[in-house]
Amino acid sequence: MRKVLQVSNLGKIHGNGCPRCVASTGPDVGSNICPHCQSVVANAAISFDLHAGEILGIMGESGSGKSTIVKMLFFDEDPSLGEAIFYDNGHQWNLFSLNAAQQRRLRNHRFGIVYQNPHLGLNFNFSAGGNIAERLLMSDLTHYGQIRERARDLLTRTEVGSERMDESPKKFSGGMQQRVQIAKALSTSPPVLFLDEVTTGLDLSVQARILDLILEIQQELGTAMIAVTHDLGVIRLLADRTIVMKNGRIIEAGLTDQILEDPQHAYTQQLVASAL
């Protein structure tokens, strides 16, 4: 299998930071606030790889630093530590040493993201189709007819329905808004897709259909995905491999069925035992 992403020692510190931040925080001390300089270590020492077409789950409670990982990889936040290499058609991109234009190019062409909060992923002043068009325009497709055609296909594929492409997503239900975000993210056929708590807050039947859609996409397009969630059900359904985080660190990583049936860390055991 082909590697698409290699993340090494990635970390994010909010605040000034000090040389003792990383050593003084984490699951062993049960905190992510550095006692010496009061900086918040959102996460540190994050290393993993992602292969073409696989879904990697990142699981952990709120505040464990899991969303910050995908936000850094999508250039929403600057990392404080570490590096990430993206392997693309024979090129290697060292993500955090690229200039702003190169980063924007990867964001628009090669990565997609679906946020928990649709306001982050969509512009509610544009129509659903307009949101997709915006992304397509940034990725060099400029023919009006072709853009509309592509938007129509994507909204049909994600079951939003092409008849609603000229409406603002403002009028859509939460599940529909997530579908528009998925359509937008997929519009440039990115090899890597980041999913940040995409089904959190949706009702169960809507969750199920969104997850089905994500799996169909993975099987059809072979998109590699990182799925961040606190929901064990989502992990079980989507992820081939899973990383478990606590206090900003990876405490356990393995095959998803192994993490769920034979968890090693005390926290993971507690988490699995608490599942409904």
Partner 1 sequence: MNSAILTVEKLSKQFFLHEQQAAIPSCAEVDLQVFPKELTAIVGPTGCGKSSVLKCIYRTYLPGAGRILYQNEAGHTTDLAQASDHRVLELRLRDIGFVTQFLHCLPRKPALDVVSEPLLLRGENRETARDAAADLLRLLNVPERLWQVPPATFSGGEKQRINLARGLISQPRLLLLDEPTASLDPDTSERVIDLLTTIKAKGVGMLAVFHHPELVRRLADRVVELIPQKTLCHE
Q: Which residues bind partner 1 (CB under 8 A)?
A: 1, 51, 54, 208, 212, 215, 219, 237, 240-241, 253-255, 257-258, 261-262, 264-266, 269-270, 273
Q: CA dist 183 to 122, 126, 129, 131, Å?
A: 11, 15, 9, 9
Is the distance from CB of 186 to CB of 193 less than 8 angstroms?
Answer: yes
Rounded to whole angstroms, the Cα distance separating 119 from 50 reads: 28
Least distance to partner 1, CB of residue 245, Å: 17
Assigned token pair, 97: 């040493």
Nearest to 137 by CA among 127, 124, 150: 150
Q: Toward partner 1, which CB reaches closer, 61 or 212?
A: 212
Q: Among residues 116, 109, 138, which one has the least CA distance to residue 147?
A: 138
Q: Which is nearer to partner 1, 166 or 212 (CB)?
A: 212
Q: How far is the CB of 247 from partner 1 (least distance, A)?
A: 16
* Minimum distance from residue 89 beta carbon to partner 1 (Å): 20
Name which of 163 and 257 has its Cβ closer to partner 1.
257
Nearest-approach distance from CB 246 to partner 1, in angstroms: 13
Least Å from the CB of residue 212 to partner 1: 6
Of the pair 200, 258, the CB lying nearest partner 1 is at 258
Q: For residues 24 and 41, what is the distance between their CA atoms, to the nearest angstrom?
A: 10
Q: Residue 85 CB: number of other CB atoms within 10 A? A: 16
- Cβ nearer to partner 1, comparing 117 with 269: 269
